[in-house]
Chain A
Amino acid sequence: MGNDYRVVIIGGGIVGCAIAYHLTKLGEKSVAVFEKNYLSSGATGRCGGGIRQQWSSLNNVLLAMRSVKHFERFSEEVGMDIEYKQGGYLVLSYTDEEAVEFEKNVKMQREAGLKVEILSPKEVERRYPYINTEGVKMATFCQSDGHANPHLAAFGYARASQKLGADIFTHTKVVGLERLCDSRWIVHTTNGSVKADVVINAAGAFSREVGKLAGVDLPTESYRHQIFVTEPLKDFFDPMAISFSGNYYMRQTKHGNFVMGQGDADEKAGINYSVTFRFEKELSRKMARIFPFLRKLRIIRHWSGHYNMSPDAQPIIGESPSVRGYYYAVGFSGHGFMLAPAVGEAIAEMILYGKAAHVDVSDLNVQRLKGGVVKEKNVV
């Protein structure tokens, strides 16, 4: 371990690794990542792996579009095949009110330059004869959406940043942050202490605790989300299928397995890694009805991870207005994986140039939450 870094990143998930990669790529070699467990051990390695640009808030659309640019050239630029597939996202709506919302969203998404189609239930059936469209009012589809393997993406960024000079410490927990009178930081870890100019909180489910280490109160809370995976079939299911009103999402991995999940409105805030039989029962019944080819497939694993929720379900990104030199990229509310490439780039640019150069993230800092919130609705 060196003892002096320009930037220390707390959290070795996709967000922390993406920040490390972009910093080193832009020439800042003095970077350390501290991960209390192993890389992608938190929400990154537990998530569905979807990459979606169809959001209800413009900020999310723009960040996701920029991320897709990065995902498209990931294997070439970062040097790892992350099983990226642009099979599109099929967003199914089961209520009339939501269908009206979707029309508005699509208008906004198209103005932002995204190619989105509106599909009738008949058209969905024609394209995907293996989906039961009973109850579907309408659907939207964006071909450039897709999915990838989140573990590989985190490892890819981590390895590339190490090659460019970053130090990555796994199984090393940050336990304290101390401010020196020259406004530098001392970062105390379970494996010793280092100095840093800038500290970044990319701690995902633990963002609030890591905020407190610096006296920064971040309005985030973590909620358990469960997910399971079936045995594999031939690779035939191209899109990621998702529904907010139907409360589900599903994709087929490159290996052939189907990964799926749903949200639970009764979930209490807090860290909880257990799984429930109720989830398995509810989701498998629902999914076998909508996707009849699942009927005879067996569930082979079931696990849980956490959404780090912000009050408006949009990420909180930026430098703390009260504690300078303390940055955060937290509160991703279940879509950190897909936004990480653009957010990593934006944070790196903020630190090195004082301002994000590709996507304007200035209204994603905590101040936006002072005068009430406009909630991102497109979350499962």
Chain B
Amino acid sequence: MHRRIFSHPILDFKRGKPVKIYFEGKEIQAYEGETVAAALVANGIDVFGESYKRNRPRGFYCAIGKCSSCVMIIDGESNVRTCITPVREGMKVARQHGRGDPKW
């Protein structure tokens, strides 16, 4: 499934070079300059995590780093806001179940 917009009547997309990231072990095609959340959604991944109390699916919401709906574990670090984090080659992204783990 491809959900990328390739041509748009008003907006112009300047896509960087292709990079690979991994969502729970699965290889995903992304482009330099886009966010992790954009790459996930473009590849059909809408569920980024679950709500705390009732375990309902949660996804991309505010898209500007405010709401915490899109936090995931990136390269072992919890609570990363994927909507404002740019992709990097080889990045490992995973869903966060419940609160983040403390690190010290």
Residues of A within 8 A of B (CB): 129-130, 231-237, 256, 291-293, 296-297
Expressed in whole angstroms, the Cα–Cα distance for A293 and B78 within the complex equals 12
Residue contact B102 to A236, C-beta cutoff 8 Å: yes
Expressed in whole angstroms, the Cα–Cα distance for A340 and B101 within the complex equals 35
Q: Determine the chain B residues whose CB is within 8 A of the CB of A293 once the complex forms.
A: 102-104
Closest 8 CB pairs of A and B: A293-B102, A292-B104, A234-B99, A293-B104, A130-B104, A256-B99, A233-B102, A233-B100
Q: Determine the chain A residues whose CB is within 8 A of the CB of B77 once the complex forms.
A: 296
Q: Return A124 CB to nearest CB of chain B, in Å.
A: 14
Given A296-B77, A296-B79, A232-B104 contact (CB < 8 Å): no
Expressed in whole angstroms, the Cα–Cα distance for A256 and B68 within the complex equals 14
Q: Is B44 an interface residue (CB 8 A)?
A: no
Residue contact B99 to A129, C-beta cutoff 8 Å: no
Q: Count A-B pairs with CB separation below 8 Å.
A: 31
Q: Is B98 an interface residue (CB 8 A)?
A: yes
Q: Which single member of B79, B98, B102 contacts A231 (CB below 8 Å)? A: B79
Q: Find the A residue at minimum CB distance from B101.
A: A234
Residue among B78, B98, B102 facing the most chain A CB atoms (10 A cut-off):
B102
Residue contact A233 to B104, C-beta cutoff 8 Å: no
Instruction: Pull 5 A–B residue pairs with CB atoms less than 8 Å apart, ordered by A.
Output: A130-B104, A234-B99, A234-B102, A235-B99, A296-B103
Given contacts A233-B78, A235-B99, 12 further A-B contacts (CB under 8 A): A130-B104, A231-B68, A232-B100, A233-B99, A234-B98, A234-B99, A234-B101, A234-B102, A293-B102, A296-B77, A296-B79, A297-B79
Q: Find the B residue at minimum CB distance from A256.
A: B99
Q: Return A288 CB to nearest CB of chain B, in Å.
A: 11
Q: Determine the chain A residues whose CB is within 8 A of the CB of B102 once the complex forms.
A: 130, 233-234, 236-237, 293
Q: Return B56 CB to nearest CB of chain A, in Å.
A: 18
Q: Determine the chain A residues whose CB is within 8 A of the CB of B103 once the complex forms.
A: 293, 296
Contact with A along B84-104 (1 / 0, CB 8 A): 000000000000001111111
Q: Determine the chain B residues whose CB is within 8 A of the CB of A231 once the complex forms.
A: 68, 79
Q: Return A185 CB to nearest CB of chain B, in Å.
A: 47
Residue contact A234 to B104, C-beta cutoff 8 Å: no
Q: Return B101 CB to nearest CB of chain A, in Å.
A: 6
Q: Return B58 CB to nearest CB of chain A, in Å.
A: 15
Q: Determine the chain B residues whose CB is within 8 A of the CB of A296 once the complex forms.
A: 77, 79, 103
Residue contact B79 to A129, C-beta cutoff 8 Å: no
Q: Return A127 CB to nearest CB of chain B, in Å.
A: 14
Q: Find the A residue at minimum CB distance from B78.
A: A233
Q: Determine the chain B residues whose CB is within 8 A of the CB of A256 once the complex forms.
A: 99
Q: Find the B residue at minimum CB distance from A129.
A: B104
Q: Return B15 CB to nearest CB of chain A, in Å.
A: 30
Q: Find the B residue at minimum CB distance from A257.
A: B99
Q: Return B54 CB to nearest CB of chain A, in Å.
A: 15
Q: Return B73 CB to nearest CB of chain A, in Å.
A: 13
Q: Return A117 CB to nearest CB of chain B, in Å.
A: 23
Expressed in whole angstroms, the Cα–Cα distance for A291 and B103 within the complex equals 10
Q: Which of B51-83 contact A (CB under 8 A)?
A: 68, 77-79
Q: Determine the chain A residues whose CB is within 8 A of the CB of B98 once the complex forms.
A: 234
Q: Determine the chain A residues whose CB is within 8 A of the CB of B99 once the complex forms.
A: 232-235, 256
Expressed in whole angstroms, the Cα–Cα distance for A235 and B98 within the complex equals 10
Q: Return B70 CB to nearest CB of chain A, in Å.
A: 13
Q: Determine the chain B residues whose CB is within 8 A of the CB of A291 once the complex forms.
A: 104
Q: Which of B21-76 contact A (CB under 8 A)?
A: 68
Q: Return B22 CB to nearest CB of chain A, in Å.
A: 22
Q: Return B92 CB to nearest CB of chain A, in Å.
A: 17
Q: Return B80 CB to nearest CB of chain A, in Å.
A: 9
Q: Determine the chain B residues whose CB is within 8 A of the CB of A129 once the complex forms.
A: 104
Q: Return B81 CB to nearest CB of chain A, in Å.
A: 9
Q: Find the A residue at minimum CB distance from B81.
A: A298
Q: Determine the chain A residues whose CB is within 8 A of the CB of B101 once the complex forms.
A: 233-234
Q: Determine the chain A residues whose CB is within 8 A of the CB of B78 once the complex forms.
A: 233
Residue among A232, A291, A297 facing the most chain B CB atoms (10 A cut-off):
A232
Expressed in whole angstroms, the Cα–Cα distance for A256 and B98 within the complex equals 10
Q: Determine the chain B residues whose CB is within 8 A of the CB of A234 once the complex forms.
A: 98-102
Q: Return B69 CB to nearest CB of chain A, in Å.
A: 13
Expressed in whole angstroms, the Cα–Cα distance for A262 and B54 within the complex equals 36
Q: Find the A residue at minimum CB distance from B65.
A: A298
Q: Return A283 CB to nearest CB of chain B, in Å.
A: 18
Q: Return A250 CB to nearest CB of chain B, in Å.
A: 13
Expressed in whole angstroms, the Cα–Cα distance for A258 and B102 within the complex equals 12
